[in-house]
Amino acid sequence: GGLWRNFRPEQLATPAAFRRDPKLVWEWYNWRRELIGQCTPNAAHETLAQMEAELPDFCVVTQNVDGLHQAAGNERVLELHGNIWRVRCENCHTSLEYHQTPLPEMPLHCLACEDVLRPDVVWFGESLSQVILEAAWAAAARCRLMLVIGTSAVLQPAASLPLLARRNGARLIEVNPNETPLSPHAHEVLRGPAAELLPEWWASQR
């Protein structure tokens, strides 16, 4: 059930849809949160957490909103598209983590000002957080090695980060089952599932 099943994601994940029917949008996100809540970090997530524990300058830049990097143990995570487990109030700018599923009410309301809360994710038509984007640019510009894992390498501005890293002298390794526009620029390509290949690669570096 659920009226949201009659809509495509790009019709629901927009500011206009939320203004028009916040309950409908939250019902969709409630379903998404329940699905994601059943997921656990895989071996690739766990390997990235091990890398952070051993490499002082390591950080993750992700387009995912599922919070699985943090669940695996990563702390230095730049989430370009936000996090589905955070909510925020556009009226009083309160932001907090909220993991309860299913949601007790839809839409959720701000405890501080009673306005409607929204998922703290980037919707279609919205700009990325400038603070997070600048931190990602800075990390790409100064890194010596960049692993590009499981991304289509099409969506901007994220797709430009590996090219910036390479221009600044970083070694570029792509981990992906499929060829992407980035593949010709990579110094090394690991072709296959990250959950299999990344742990093997990291073990080979020890």
Query: Among 151, 147, 167, which residue's Cα sits nearest to residue 159?
Result: 151
Same domain, 71 and 89: no
Q: Using only C-alpha atoms, what is the Rg of the chain? A: 18
Same domain, 35 and 47: no
Count of other CB atoms within 10 angstroms of residue 41: 20
SS3 170: coil
Same domain, 90 and 24: yes
- Which residues are catalytic, by number? 81
Indicate the number of domains in the chain.
Answer: 2
CATH code of the domain in which 29 resides: 3.30.1600.10
Same domain, 94 and 177: no
Same domain, 71 and 15: no
Cα(1)–Cα(21) distance, integer angstroms: 17
Same domain, 94 and 28: yes
User: In DSSP terms, which residues pair with 62 in a beta bridge?
Assistant: 79
Same domain, 95 and 175: no
**Farthest CA pair distance, the chain:** 54
Q: Answer whether 84's CB lies under 8 Å from 32's CB.
A: yes
CATH code of the domain in which 181 resides: 3.40.50.1220
Q: Please tell me the predicted confidence (pLDDT) of residue 199.
A: 98
Q: Please tell me the predicted confidence (pLDDT) of residue 2.
A: 67
Same domain, 170 and 190: yes
Domain range for 11 is: 3-39+84-121
Full pLDDT tens readout for the chain, 206 residues? 567 777 888 999 999 999 999 999 999 999 999 999 999 999 999 999 999 999 999 999 999 999 999 999 999 999 999 999 999 999 999 999 999 999 999 999 999 999 999 999 999 999 999 999 999 999 999 999 999 999 998 889 999 999 999 999 999 999 999 999 999 999 999 999 999 999 999 999 97
Same domain, 60 and 95: no
Q: Please tell me the predicted confidence (pLDDT) of residue 155.
A: 87
Same domain, 103 and 25: yes
Q: Please tell me the predicted confidence (pLDDT) of residue 206.
A: 79
Same domain, 75 and 136: yes
Q: Please tell me the predicted confidence (pLDDT) of residue 83.
A: 98
Global confidence as pTM: 0.92
Measured at the alpha carbon of residue 52, what is the angle toward residues 41 and 139, in degrees to the nearest 5? Answer: 110
- Which domain-ending residue is among 121, 150, 172? 121
Cα dihedral 67→72→78→79 (10° resolution): -20
Same domain, 180 and 197: yes
